[in-house]
Amino acid sequence: MTALAVKGLSKSFGGLRVTANVNLEVAPGERRLIIGPNGAGKTTLFNLITGELQPDSGSIRLFERDITRVASRKRAHLGMARTYQIITLFGKDTILRNVTLALLGLSPLRWNGWVALHRQQHLVDQARAALERVGLHDIADRPLAETSYGEKRRVEIAMALAQNPKLLLLDEPFAGLSIDERRDVRQLLAAIPRDVTIVMIEHDMDTALDLADRITLLHFGEVVVEGTRAEVVADRRTREVYLGE
């Protein structure tokens, strides 16, 4: 069984081909790292997997289920969660409310415009449990605008983990973090149990390589190299893409 299987995935914007016949198989419980220079098509690949973009051709399977044409909002109900390269949170709300709102999106209560969110104790308890996992439970009631950039990154991860995903997609979770913040987020990700499959885009290879079981290198929308850390680092094409050798 595969957790995620992408076959022949292609996407163009006008005459610009951004994703070119990408094939990707990720095993359950695997930690897969997606690397590549700016413009390689990494985030576009994530947007195709999550359904925010529709492919021109190819297929996507989530735990053997074909989700190629499944609406983006429904993929979360099938066990998929993600974070974004650019943080998208509600700055005027508390940390706790941000995570509770993420849980509301999976609840039938989302259709009730009159619901008093703070009275939905089961959602609040789940949100607090998610914040405890990322080390933010002590500041759960703090307005998000009063938190550091690294704390906001952890809030995003808490929002994703609160949904109990089977597949977690992380788009540059270390971007913009200090050395200490990178250490904290790395420890957080390493502690996620293996019943959650993780696919991660990251530029900070020194931090991310230690987390990866396998690595996929994208360049101009194509898979150039794929393999273990040792195989990818040793491949001359990796040096060509990153160092211009």
Using DSSP bridges, classify how beta strands 16-26 and 214-219 pair: parallel, antiparallel or unpaired. unpaired
Contacts of 116 (CB under 8 A, 6+ apart): none
pLDDT digits (tens, 9 = 90+) for 87-131: 778 888 999 989 988 887 665 555 455 566 666 788 889 999 999
Quote the mean pLDDT of the chain.
89
DSSP 143: B
Q: Burial level of 47, CB count in 10 A (0-12/13-18/19+)?
A: buried
Average pLDDT over residues 41-63: 96
3-state secondary structure of 149: helix
**Structural fold of domain 1-79+165-245:** Rossmann fold (3.40.50)
Question: Residue 217 pairs with which residues in a beta bridge?
Answer: 35, 225
pLDDT of residue 243: 58
pLDDT of residue 101: 83
pLDDT of residue 244: 61
Give the pTM. 0.91
d(CA 78, CA 100): 19
**For 8-12, 164-168, 172-176, which range has the lowest pLDDT when averaged over its residues?**
172-176
What percentage of the chain exceeds 70 in pLDDT?
93
pLDDT-based confidence at residue 161 (cuts at 50, 70, 90): very high
pLDDT of residue 115: 64
pLDDT of residue 225: 94
pLDDT digits (tens, 9 = 90+) for 167-225: 999 999 998 889 898 889 999 999 999 999 999 998 777 778 889 999 999 999 999 99
pLDDT-based confidence at residue 52 (cuts at 50, 70, 90): very high
- From residue 131, give the alpha-carbon distance in Å to each of 15, 100, 111, 173, 174: 44, 10, 25, 16, 18
User: Residue holding tokens 């190629």?
Assistant: 68
Question: What's phi and psi for 202, nearest 5 deg?
Answer: -160, 140
Residue span(s) of the chain under CATH 3.40.50.300 come to 1-79+165-245
Question: Residue 7 pairs with which residues in a beta bridge?
Answer: 59
